Amino acid sequence: MAPVSMEKVNKVYENGFHAVKDMDLDIRDGEFMVLVGPSGCGKTTALRMVAGLEDITSGILRIGGKEVNDETPKERDIAMVFQNYALYPHMTVRENIGFALKLRKTPKAELKAKVNEAAEILGLTDWLDRKPGQLSGGQRQRVAMGRAIVRQPSVFLMDEPLSNLDAKLRVQMRAEVARIQRHLGVSTIYVTHDQVEAMTMGDRVTVMRSGVLQQVDAPQHLYDNPDNIFVAAFIGSPAMNLYDATVGEGARSVKVGSQTIDLPDSVRIKRPALASYAGKEVVVGMRPEHLPAEADDAAGPKLVGDVDLVEALGSELVVHFTVDAHRVLAEGAVDKDEAAAVKSGEGVARVAAKTPVKAGDRLTFAVDTDQMKFFDTQTGLSIRT
Amino acid sequence: MRRRKRAGWHRVINGINIATLVVVIFVAAPLYWLIASSFKTPSAMGAYPPQLFPNPISTANYHQAFVQYDFWIYFRNSLIVTLVATALVLIFGTLAGYALARTPMRGKFSTMVTLLMISLFPAIAVIAPLYTLLKDLGWLNSYQALIIPYTAFNLPFAIWILRNYMLGIPKEMEETGRIDGAGPLRTIWSIVLPMALPGVFTAGIFCFTACWTEFLMALTFNIANNYKTIPVGIATFGTAMEVPYGTIFAASVVAVVPIGILVFIFRKFVISGLTSGAVKG
B191 close to A (CB below 8 A): yes
Confidence of residue A237 (pLDDT cuts 50, 70, 90): confident
CB spacing of B179 vs A79 below 8 angstroms:
yes
Residue B7 has pLDDT above 70, yes or no: no
Residues in B touching A73 (Cβ below 8 Å): 175, 178-179, 181
Instruction: List domains and CATH numbers for chain B.
Output: 2-45 (no CATH), 62-275 (1.10.3720.10)
Q: What is the mean pLDDT of residues A6-12?
A: 95
User: Does residue A238 form part of some domain?
Assistant: no
What is residue B277's predicted lDDT score, i.e. its pLDDT? 45
Domain final residue, candidates A168, A202, A231: A231
Q: How many CA atoms lie within 13 A of B86 on its CB side?
A: 19
Model's pTM, two decimal places? 0.81
Residue of A15, A50, A99 best to disrupt the B interface, most CBs of B under 10 A: A99
Same domain flag for A204 and A350: no
Q: Distance from A385 to chain B by nearest Cα, in Å? A: 46
Residue B264 has pLDDT above 90, yes or no: no
Q: How many CA atoms lie within 13 A of B8 on its CB side?
A: 5
Confidence of residue A1 (pLDDT cuts 50, 70, 90): low
pLDDT 10s digits, B171-197: 888 999 999 988 888 888 998 888 888
User: Does residue A239 form part of some domain?
Assistant: no
Residues of A with a Cβ under 8 Å from any B Cβ are: 51-53, 72-74, 78-80, 82-84, 86, 88-90, 99-100, 103-104, 147
Same domain flag for A175 and A71: yes
Q: Which of A25, A83, A33, A70 is nearest to B175 (CA)?
A: A83
Q: Distance from B260 to chain A by nearest Cα, in Å? A: 27
* Whether B201 contacts B136, CB under 8 Å: no
Residue B275 has pLDDT above 80, yes or no: no
Same domain flag for A44 and A171: yes
C-alpha to C-alpha distance for B112 and B73, rounded to whole angstroms: 38
CB spacing of A103 vs B182 below 8 angstroms:
yes
B170 close to A (CB below 8 A): yes
Same domain flag for A308 and A280: yes
> What's the CATH number where A219 sits?
3.40.50.300
- For chain A, the domain total comes to 2
What is the distance, to the nearest Å, from the Cα of residue B107 to the centroid of all Cα atoms in its chain?
Answer: 31
> What's the CATH number where A356 sits?
2.40.50.140
C-alpha to C-alpha distance for A194 and A180, rounded to whole angstroms: 20
Q: What is the DSSP string of A182-241?
A: HHHT-EEEEEES-HHHHHHH-SEEEEEETTEEEEEE-HHHHHHS-SBHHHHHHSSSSPPE
Residues in B touching A106 (Cβ below 8 Å): none
Q: What is the mean pLDDT of residues A147-169?
A: 91
CB spacing of B170 vs A53 below 8 angstroms:
no
What is residue B226's predicted lDDT score, i.e. its pLDDT? 92
A293 φ/ψ angles, rounded to the nearest 5 degrees: -65, 150
What is residue B279's predicted lDDT score, i.e. its pLDDT? 42
Same domain flag for A160 and A248: no
Same domain flag for A325 and A364: yes
pLDDT 10s digits, B31-87: 999 999 999 888 888 778 888 888 888 888 898 888 888 899 999 999 999 999 999
Q: In whole numbers, what is the pLDDT of chain B averaged over residues? A: 87
Same domain flag for A211 and A266: no
What is the distance, to the nearest Å, from the Cα of residue B100 to the centroid of all Cα atoms in its chain?
Answer: 24
Same domain flag for A156 and A72: yes
Residue B278 has pLDDT above 60, yes or no: no
Confidence of residue B122 (pLDDT cuts 50, 70, 90): confident
CA distance readout (Å), A266 to A274, A279, A371: 12, 20, 11
DSSP 3-state assignment of B93? Answer: helix
User: Does residue A203 form part of some domain?
Assistant: yes
Same domain flag for A249 and A360: yes
User: Does residue A152 form part of some domain?
Assistant: yes
Same domain flag for A213 and A144: yes
B182 close to A (CB below 8 A): yes
User: Does residue A173 form part of some domain?
Assistant: yes
User: Does residue A18 form part of some domain?
Assistant: yes
Same domain flag for A144 and A26: yes
H/E stretch holding A59:
strand A58-63
Confidence of residue A251 (pLDDT cuts 50, 70, 90): confident
User: Does residue A237 form part of some domain?
Assistant: no
C-alpha to C-alpha distance for A115 and A124, rounded to whole angstroms: 10
Q: What is the DSSP string of A328-370?
A: P--TTTS-HHHHHHPPTTEEEEEEETT----TT-EEEEE--GG
User: Does residue A381 form part of some domain?
Assistant: no
What is the distance, to the nearest Å, from the Cα of residue B120 to the centroid of all Cα atoms in its chain?
Answer: 17
Q: What is the DSSP string of B190-245?
A: IIIHHHTHHHHHHHHHHHHHHHHH--HHHHHH--SGGG--HHHHHHT-S-SS---H
Determine the structural domain holding residue A181 and report its residue range: 4-231
C-alpha to C-alpha distance for B101 and B159, rounded to whole angstroms: 10
Domain final residue, candidates A231, A254, A282: A231
Confidence of residue B281 (pLDDT cuts 50, 70, 90): very low
Residue of B102, B169, B172, B176 best to disrupt the A interface, most CBs of A under 10 A: B176
What is residue A334's predicted lDDT score, i.e. its pLDDT? 66
DSSP character for A382? B
Domain final residue, candidates A231, A265, A290: A231
Same domain flag for A178 and A291: no
DSSP character for A301? S
